[in-house]
Structure 1
Amino acid sequence: MSEPQAEAQPPARKSKLPLLIGLVLALLLGGGGFYAVYSGMLFSSHAQEEEEAAVEPLPDIAFVPLAPMVISLGKGGSARHLRFTAQVEVSKPHISDVTLLTPRILDVLNGYLRAVDVRDLEDPTALIRLRAQMLRRVQIVAGDGRVRDLLVTEFVLN
């Protein structure tokens, strides 16, 4: 009844040589790739120089700041206030003209913003429409070609 017991042999060990070779190759290829990019072999500096050369100079502009305005809106006890600050973009030769007309520009903006309904001011998309309307009024006051744009820097409604 006794059968010869087969001797239990440990499983054959796999060779670690392929793993070691893979690790060494990964390090070599990673280092080679880093060196190729770092030294500029793959991405030449000529392409970067062409991109930098393609940048156009800034236009000959200046910004004339407008004094901050606090405008009362509404009637009676429900009065609300709008804090408004802007800058006018002008061509450099027209800085003195627009600066001279700043009080008139503030008057036009103040009158327009007081006339706007509070519900229109609360609309998140209204600022685009309001800005276009104010820019047109400022361009009329300053004269043709003097004002390029109106940049609203503060528009707070409480």
Structure 2
Amino acid sequence: MAQEPEEDFEGDGEPEFEAPSGGGKKKLLLFVALPLLLVIGGGAVAYFTGLADPIVAMITGKKPADMSADAGDAGKDKGDAGKDAGKDAGKKKDKDAKGGEAGKPGAAGDANAAVFYDLPEMLVNINTAGHKRSFLKLRVSLELVNEADINTVENVLPRIVDSFQVYLRELRLEDLQGAAGMYRLRAELLMRVNAAVNPAQVKDVLFKEMIVQ
């Protein structure tokens, strides 16, 4: 009786399988990565186009209209902030162009600011040619070129008052009548005060009060 051939199994008897080739691995990665990329890309498109608003509203509890309003308010706030920043920059630029705030040293217009100095009140007799005695009450203010001239005026103040009174005592009532009389009086006082304060300069003599009684 013939013997059946014995089957030869190597190892522990388990069948052997070959590892998948390199092409199989690439296909497996594509099957996993491609759907994931499609999901991510579709979600991004839905979010930016507003298609995902109902889903986001279900999660957050807000309505799509409320979400749009919140986004609009945020954009409006940014726009307002930009406008305010632009206005502040414009104001600062205008301030710098004018030389700073008014009242501070170096500010524009300070160089042309008027300087005034009030002389003491003067009461003198005027010439009436033998008629009833009359008095002239006069208060004037000197307009100076700059504040430094105030010290000069104060140093020669007695001389200024004396020069004014000598001239005023020679006036007659007719000399003080009308606009022409006032103009001549102003010009005469200005000439006399400039002679007294030289080398300083007085720009004008302003009448604050003038009463004849």
The alignment's TM-score, normalised by the length of structure 1, stands at 0.60
Q: Which amino acid aligns with 2:109?
A: P
Give unpaired runs (5+ residues) of structure 2: 1-93, 99-107
Which aligned runs of 4 or more in structure 1 are off by greater than 4 angstroms? none
Deviation readout 1:69-98 (Å, 9 max, x if unpaired) = 111113555110111000111121111111
Relative to its length, the structure with more helix (as a share) is 2
Superposition RMSD in Å: 2.9
Unmatched segments (≥5 aa) in structure 1: 1-48
Q: Which residue of 2 aligns with 1:123?
A: 178
CA deviation after TM superposition for structure 1 residue 61, in Å: 3.8
> SS at the partner of 1:92?
coil
2:119 counterpart (66, 69, 86) = 66
Q: How many Å apart are 1:122 and its aligned residue?
A: 2.8
Does the alignment pair 1:84 with 2:127?
A: no
CA distance in 1, matches of 2:179, 2:133: 20
The structure whose Rg is larger is: 2
Write out aligned runs for 1:17-56 (5 A): none
Is the counterpart of residue 137 in structure 1 residue 189 in structure 2? no
Which of 57, 64, 67 pairs up with 2:109?
Answer: 57
- Are 1:104 and 2:159 matched, yes or no? yes
The number of residue pairs the alignment matches comes to: 111
Give the percent of matched residue pairs that are identical in Structure 1 and Structure 2.
Answer: 27
Asked if 1 retains the 8 angstrom alpha-carbon contact of 2:142 and 2:204, the reply is: yes
RCO (CA 8 Å, sep 6+): is it higher in 1 or 2? 1
Deviation by residue 1:89-121 (Cα, 9 ceiling, x = unmatched): 112111111111111111111111111222111
In structure 1, C-alpha distance between the alignment counterparts of 2:162 and 2:200, rounded to whole Å: 20
More strand by share: 1
8 Å Cα contact 2:152-2:200 kept in structure 1: no
